[in-house]
Amino acid sequence: MIKKYIMTPGPTPISGQVLREHGRPLMHHRSPEFSEIFIKATGKLKKFMKTENEVFILTSSGTGGMEAAITNAFSPGDKVLVASTGNFGQRFKKLSKVFGLDLIAIDYEWGEALDPEDIREALDRDPDIKGVMFQFSETSTGVLNDAMAVGEIVKDYDGITIVDAISGLGASEFKTDEWNLDIVIGGSQKGLSAPTGAAFVSVSPKAWNLIEKSTMPRFYFNLLDAREAANRKPPQTPWTPAISIIVAINKAMDLLLEEGFERSFARHKLLAEATHKAVERIGLKLLVKDPKDRGQSVTSIMVPEGIDGKKLSNIMRTKHGVTIAGGQGKLKGKIIRIGHLGWVGMFDIITAISSLEMALKDLGFDLDIGAGVAEAQRVFYENKFFGE
């Protein structure tokens, strides 16, 4: 009996209540019973994303959502700007190239946040840029980019913003409309803590203007078809949706709404802070050096000299049942990542840090067993994570 703990930045832990809903018998996707759930789930996602824009649920991973944004908003040859802060920024760049866009890229060090002023300068240099793409939370590094500042800048230009908020939504405050963000992409398996397999995208009126003019060939992810289907009575999806995932999203949103978004953000803030402090107390270094660049979804930790990162996470998984993530792209082998996103409480952090300490000890790393855990406890205790 090894109890399992999933501490990755997606998939995130799923509560028993959500799993129970996910595993109920399926209703037909054109039945009134499903329509009711579909309407409710979409409405709750709008609250989640703080938007009055239309929100569409796609049956795909988050990458499908990114492709949907790009193939709908642009036409071949369009000039676009990608501000890349990690592996998912690279994905925006690859997508742009594959679909024949004229790509301008600003590449930041992995572990640093973007500088909104760079985007302003790029737009001033090339006012015909049709879209600015960036990650809110860059899952591969744990950096949180200032989406509000980017939105504030881009709104005065012709181009739109496309924001991958997949791993940021739910963990950090995010205001689609107030921040003037045009296409925002989310995923089911991150802050929502629902199963993998669905993405959702919100689309602003400014983005619809581009979408209606786009000559890019697209079918499965065509948002004009999605809008047409959503405007039917009752609203539908153009293709058979992932029914059981939408049912789970609907339930997962209830749990989040019950907690309240503000409290959820505060919870994630403490989960992140406790993780950061505990890791530093152990004697490890965080990838994201500047504390103001650190997000609240995932903590990237430098694998210390002389330690094999792969072995470290293998020990945690096989001996302790704790699954964490490794590095992606050029950070492969160089970092480990602890997710603290979604249905996560303080004892999950205590568990992860405890496991990390014991695994490091196994590999001969010099540390005081329990010191990191005590540090995390102190953060939770002093900040009254558990209320008054």
Q: Residues interacting with a copy of itself, by CB under 8 A?
A: 4, 6, 8, 10-11, 13-14, 19-20, 22-31, 59-64, 67, 94-95, 98-100, 187, 189, 195-198, 217-221, 238-245, 317, 323, 325
Q: Which residue in 201, 198, 113 sits closest to 160, CA to CA?
A: 201
Closer to a copy of itself by Cβ: residue 159 or 197:
197
**Residue number, 239 or 347, with CB nearest to a copy of itself:** 239
CB of 135 to a copy of itself, least distance (A): 16
* Residue 24 vs 285, nearer CB to a copy of itself: 24
Q: Which is nearer to a copy of itself, 220 or 265 (CB)?
A: 220
From the CB of 155, what's the least distance to a copy of itself, in Å?
28
What is the closest distance, in whole angstroms, from the C-beta atom of residue 270 to a copy of itself in the complex? 24
Q: Which structure tokens are listed for 298?
A: 């995932």
Per DSSP, the three-state class of 222 is coil
329-350 exposure pattern, b = at least 16 Cβ within 10 A, e = fewer: eebeeebbbbbbbbbbebebbb
User: Residue 243 has what DSSP assignment?
Assistant: H
CB nearer a copy of itself, residue 67 or residue 78: 67
Q: What are the backbone angles phi and psi of residue 268, rounded to the nearest 5°?
A: -65, -35
Phi and psi at residue 250, in whole multiples of 5°? -60, -45
Residue nearer to a copy of itself on the CB measure, 19 or 257: 19
Query: In the complex, what is the shortest distance from the CB of residue 213 to a copy of itself, in angstroms, rounded to a whole number?
Result: 16
Residue with tokens 């953060």: 379
Closest approach, Cβ 3 to a copy of itself, in A, equals 11
Query: Min. distance of Cβ 6 from a copy of itself in angstroms?
Result: 6
Q: Which residue has the tokens 């010191």?
A: 371
Residue 201's H or E segment, with its range, is strand 198-203
Shortest distance (Å) from residue 222 CB to a copy of itself: 8
Shortest CA distance to 137 belongs to which of 277, 18, 25, 299?
299
Cα distance between residue 26 and residue 136, in whole Å: 34
Per-residue exposure over 121-140, b if at least 16 CB sit within 10 Å of its own CB, e if not = ebbeebeebbbbbbbbbbbb
Structure tokens at 192: 């929502």
* 298-302: strand order across its sheet: 298-302, 335-339, 325-326
Q: Judged by CB, which is closer to a copy of itself: 112, or 348?
A: 348
Is the CB of 154 or the CB of 198 nearer to a copy of itself? Answer: 198
Which 3 state secondary structure label does DSSP give 60?
coil
With beta carbons less than 8 A apart as the criterion, state whether 192 and 253 touch: yes
The CB-of-266 to a copy of itself minimum distance in angstroms stands at: 26
Q: Report in angstroms how near the CB of residue 322 gets to a copy of itself at its nearest.
A: 11
Smaller CB distance to a copy of itself: residue 123 or 223? 223
Going from the C-alpha of 358 to that of each of 315, 341, 352, 365, the distances in angstroms are 9, 23, 10, 10
